[in-house]
A and B are shown apart, each in its own frame.
Chain A
Amino acid sequence: MKSKTYYRIRRKIIWVIDSILKIGVCIFLAFPFYWMLTTSFKTYTESILFPPTLIPRVFTLEGYRTVFEGLDLGMYLKNSLIILFWIILIQMIVMVPAAYGFSKCEFKGRGLLFGFVTVAFMVPSQVTFVTTFLMFSKMKLIKTLIPQIIPFGANAFGIFLLRQNFMQIPDEMLEAARLDEASELQIMLKIMLPMAKSSLVTIALLSFMSHWNSYFWPLVMTTSDSVRPLTMAIDKLKHLDFGFVWPTIMAGNVLMVLPVVILFLIGSKRIIAAMAYRGIK
């Protein structure tokens, strides 16, 4: 018969091992971030030392200086922000009435049209990019920011989330407003929207992050630097010097990651919930 202390000690040991393993997993997942950050502060010679140093012996901002001097960061950042601004604005304008229509109005063909929306959203841009590129280059728009903006006018996740949100608003509220002679537009803007504010913020946040990070689309849709966003600038860092100068490349990537991590720290609960929802739907 084993004593109570035996079980208590056994549980304690298991707990310690479990915790150590968990910390290990956390380190494994967080380490590349640490590595990126520290490498960005190293000198080039230190960065290629073997075995590598875990903490930079000499802190230098050389990498950052090269990034700022070698690239017209301002231009790329401006492009990124203009693209993001228009994408989010257009998405909101398209999304709100669509979600309202699909949630609170009955009309012929609603099921069919919603089915079309659902299926169309599942066709990835990796399938459509060739012909979309041809379309824009025939229209002579490849040298503008438009190909990076309007294809994203309809936001699937946004419409689904918002529709779900609108469906929870009781019909009686809309009916009361209609009795007060409110127009449909007023109902949408003054009643529905304020109740969905939190969803709208979440949608804008996720949209920002996904388009801030996007690399595939600008890569295939642009032919000149003047319309390229920040991701494409980071991709050019490897050509800035002879070969790969890791501190410079990492410095550029730190600048890319920073806004996203800050947004995550501000709204991590909201973002995790929304991403999990997006994963399930």
Chain B
Amino acid sequence: MSKAKNNASPAKRKCGPRLMDRLRPYLMIAPCIAFLVVFTLYPVVNMIYLSFFEYDLLTPKKFVGLNNYYRLFFVNVDFWEAFKHTFYYTVAEVVLLITLGLLLAMWVRKSTFLNAIAQRVMFLPHLVAMLTVAYVFQWLMDDRSGLFNAVLNFFHLPGLNWLNSSKTALMSVVIVSIWKNVGYYALILLSSLKAIPAEIYEAADLDDARPLLKFFKITVPMLSPQIFFLLVTITMGSFKVFESIRVLTGGGPGSSTDVLVYYIYRYAISNMKYGYACAAGTILFVILMVFMVVYFRLPGKRVHYQ
């Protein structure tokens, strides 16, 4: 059977008949597979395994069954807090990034001089380290001498406590992330926007369709695979938010910005409760897996990787 196949595609013959030739493709991809097995598959399997143990690297690990999970869900209320904040953060990110991204993309769609500049500028925040962005915004949002409060005062509005109040801290983190990412997502949407055939709009123009109607009846449906894709990507990205939280608020004030990854980080790195951290990590992994399944079932996505 393999012979027939080889005859059918002569270029691929070399990868077939002799022993060395048959082994070669496997050797080619072996390093890549090996890296993934050692640094992705093994850590995940080991994490699930360790989640049933009490383990601190110093003393021998102790099997505790589902106790870690029991404590996560029913004893320590802080896990639900972290989960809740992650969820709020994710919803805000998804709604704001997609809405604003879409509006921005529509807005700078035509090729004019100003739009070309805008597109470059939109991309700039995406290049910079989250660490830097977080420090600059921490400075802008400083409640005593930060620029944001100076602007509010200028308009005779009371200043906000931004990162220092449990009411506004999570919102402030969202603002920072929006600033950093909105241009990037707008550019992704823009490239699909440009792929919509102009004839569709021309036909709508002939019918004197109003702009808003064109937007909801043509643009949104045509972009829907893309939007759905961004929905999944942004959700997955938001569930693993960490760097901005760590620099901007450190989970506080109180625990008002504690999120899942920060929670895992605290228990693993700071408290050395590795088994417990692994249980929390397993929960995060399961959540991400659900979105991964959705991701691979996306319409219009499957074509890319056969």
Report which A residues bind B (CB closer than 8 A): 19, 22-23, 25-26, 28-30, 32-33, 35-36, 39, 47-52, 93-95, 97-98, 100-102, 104-107, 110-111, 113-124, 126-135, 137, 150-151, 153-154, 159-160, 171-172, 174-175, 178, 184, 209, 212-216, 219-220, 231, 234-235, 244, 246, 249-250, 253, 256-257, 260-261, 264, 268, 271-272, 275-276, 279-281
Compute how far the CA of A115 lies from the CA of B121 in the bound complex, rounded to whole angstroms: 36
Q: Could you give, for residues 243-265 of chain B, a 1 whenever the CB lies within 8 Å of some chain A CB and a 0 otherwise?
A: 10011000000000000010011
On whether the beta carbons of B123 and A272 are closer than 8 Å, the reply is yes
**Shortest Cβ gap from B93 to chain A (Å):** 15
Q: Is the CB of B44 within 8 A of A123?
A: yes
B154 within 8 A of A: yes
DSSP majority for the B interface? helix
In this complex, what residue of A is CB-closest to B285? A127
Q: Quick check: is B97 within 8 A (CB to CB) of the other chain?
A: no
Closest partner residue, chain B, to A263 (CB atom): B127
Q: Are A184 and B24 in contact (CB under 8 A)?
A: yes
Chief secondary structure at chain A's binding surface: helix
B128 and A257 within 8 A (CB): yes
In the assembled complex, 10 residue pairs joining A and B whose CB atoms fall closer than 8 Å, in A order, are A30-B124, A105-B24, A105-B25, A123-B288, A128-B40, A128-B43, A130-B277, A130-B278, A130-B281, A172-B11
7 smallest A-B Cβ distances: which pairs? A171-B11, A101-B28, A213-B129, A105-B15, A98-B32, A97-B28, A128-B43
| Complex: chain A residue closest to B278, CB-CB | A130
Chain B residues proximal to chain A, CB less than 8 Å: 5, 9-12, 14-16, 22, 24-29, 31-33, 35-36, 39-44, 46-47, 50, 57, 104, 107-108, 114-115, 117-133, 135-140, 144-147, 150, 153-154, 179, 183-185, 187-188, 191-192, 226, 229, 233, 236, 240, 242-243, 246-247, 261, 264-265, 268-269, 274, 277-278, 281, 284-285, 288, 292, 295-296, 304-306
A256/B32 in contact, CB under 8 A: no
Contact B122 A150 (CB under 8 A): no
A116-B33 contact in complex given A128-B43, A174-B11, A184-B24, C-beta closer than 8 Å: yes
CA of A97 to CA of B42 in the docked complex: distance in angstroms? 23
Which residue of the partner chain B has the closest CB to A238? B135
A49 to chain B, nearest CB (A): 7
Interface contact A250-B136, CB-CB below 8 Å: yes
